[in-house]
Structure 1
Amino acid sequence: MTSVTRTADQTLFSQFWNASTAVFYWNRIALFLLGKEHHTTLQENALIFAAVNVAMADAAIACWEAKYYYVAWRPVTAIRLADTDGNPATIADPSWVPLLNTPPHPEYPSGHSTVSAAAATVLAHYFGKNSSFMVDSDVMTGVVRSFPSFSAALTEIVNARVFAGIHFRTACNDGQATGTAVGEYVLQHAFRRAEREEGEDED
């Protein structure tokens, strides 16, 4: 779908972040970072992947619980039916269509933003928030996105969902806040070293 305001790159990255799941992308990012001159052990690698994926799973649970609590309209509904929302300041546009197909579940909050923020929070803890990385797609072969930091990637993901026409920005920003909180909780409470009983030998 063409646009008079969306750039070619905005269209590309909107399609890119929708081509695969957030779980796929963030596991690819973790794999890239582990191979980028980080001399981690097999045990450390397993810990990082476990923490990232637990955080993403918990973030998805929090997100979908919120989706069906708020049951918010997607843009395709809100824009086309704006004359029925009780707000005289909104004007309906029955011909409006999004760039991407609208997902079949409520809009608020953004699942991709929530899950991505949780993963980014965990990876930033292990590699540093200003780590640079690249990520490719298993669907859009040959397309690679590069970022100087986790925050830059998260900003692009928010924009991708908005430019795609499937989310309002509030849903993405609030989703990121939720995902960040989930990631921080996982780091503080999960995978902590168990205290050994007195006299127990260390492996």
Structure 2
Amino acid sequence: SARYLADFQETSSMGSVSSLVRSDDQTLAARFWNASTAAYYWNTIAVTLAAQRKTTLSENARLLALLDTAMADAAIACWDAKYNFVFWRPVTAIQLADTDGNSDTSVDLNWTPLLTTPNHPEYPSGHSTVSGAAATVLGDYFGHTTSFSIESDVMVGVVRSFPNFDAALAEIKDARIFGGIHFRSACDDGQTIGIEVALYVIDHAFQPLALE
């Protein structure tokens, strides 16, 4: 399909360990978001913002319950889909492109991704799914125009700053492509799953208690 071809070409060029089109900052983003789990990063963002706003213990409990329930449920939906579709990773797709039935894709037997390929199916993207859920919950809780910075617990001194949660979500999706371990469709559809799960959790779970 045209969509698969576009995905294939984007990851092939942007995600190769020897890419000539990926910038240094894009490489840094790929490594940054891969250094820890998405859940770790989003919990760190939530706790940091809560501390800045001096929210109460009960408010923090509700915030983290919403956030982690949404991320956990999104991850369940994601992994259910992964093993339903069992789609190949870019490294396999590119090296075996002559078997995909698309005459416009090109085989590259030496193609290697920037990041180490995870040992589970490609579609949908776990980082994108969990981050779609997290960005939705935090946007609803703190406001969608909230700016913030996040520091890696592994890459000491590296900080990423964003004007809002959607901007961070967009970078996380891009980072999986820059890393050569996902296709765009897996990231876009993962985001959609995460958002839908989060909206359900927000509407049905952990509602604020009325003060008597």
Q: Cα–Cα, structure 1 residues 172 and 58, in superposed 2: closer, same or farther, change >3 Å?
A: same
Query: 2:120 aligned to 102, 105, 108, which one?
Result: 105
Q: Which residue of 2 aligns with 1:4?
A: 20
The aligned residue for residue 168 of structure 1 is 183
**Which 4+ stretches in 1 moved above 4 angstroms?**
none
Deviations 1:126-170 (A, max 9, x none): 111110011111111111100001111011001100010000001
Partner of 1:131: 146
Q: How does 1:1-203 map to 2 (within 5 A)?
A: 1-36=17-52, 38-192=53-207
51-60 or 27-36: bigger deviation:
27-36
**1:5 aligned counterpart, secondary structure:** coil
Which consecutive residues of structure 1, in runs of 5 or more, have no partner in the other structure?
196-201
3-state SS of 1:96 partner: coil
The alignment partner of 1:95 has SS state of: coil
> What residue in structure 2 maps to residue 199 of structure 1?
none
Distance, in Å, in 2 between the alignment partners of 1:194 and 1:123 is 19
Amino acid at match of 1:176: Q
Q: Which runs of 5+ in 2 are unaligned?
A: 1-16
Give the whole-Å Cα distance in 1 for the aligned partners of 2:55 and 2:180.
Answer: 40
Supply the distance in 2 between the matched residues of 1:31 and 1:40 (Cα, whole angstroms). Answer: 10
Q: Which amino acid aligns with 2:190?
A: G
Judge conservation of contact 1:60–1:115 (CA < 8 Å) in 2.
Answer: yes
- Equivalent pair of 1:122/1:183 in contact (CA under 8 Å): yes
Any conservation in 2 of the 1:10–1:163 contact (CA below 8 Å)?
A: yes
The DSSP-based 3-state class of the residue aligned with 1:146 is: strand
- Deviates most, 81-90 or 8-17: 81-90
Q: Distance in 2 between matches of 1:2 and 1:130?
A: 36
CA gap of 1:10–1:100, structure 2 versus 1, over 3 A, is: same
SS at match of 2:106: coil
Q: Distance in 2 between matches of 1:17 and 1:192?
A: 31
Secondary structure of 1:145 counterpart: strand
The amino acid of 2:170's aligned partner reads T
Alignment RMSD, CA only? Answer: 1.4
CA distance in structure 1 between the aligned counterparts of 2:160 and 2:86, rounded to whole angstroms? 32
Per the TM alignment, residue 2 of structure 1 is displaced from its structure 2 partner at its CA by 3.7
- The count of aligned residue pairs is 196
> Structure 1 residue 89: deviation in Å?
1.8
Aligned equivalents of 1:126 and 1:85: distance in 2? 44
**1:29-56 Cα shifts (integer Å, max 9, x gaps):** 00111122x2321100111011100000
TM-score, normalised with respect to structure 1? 0.93
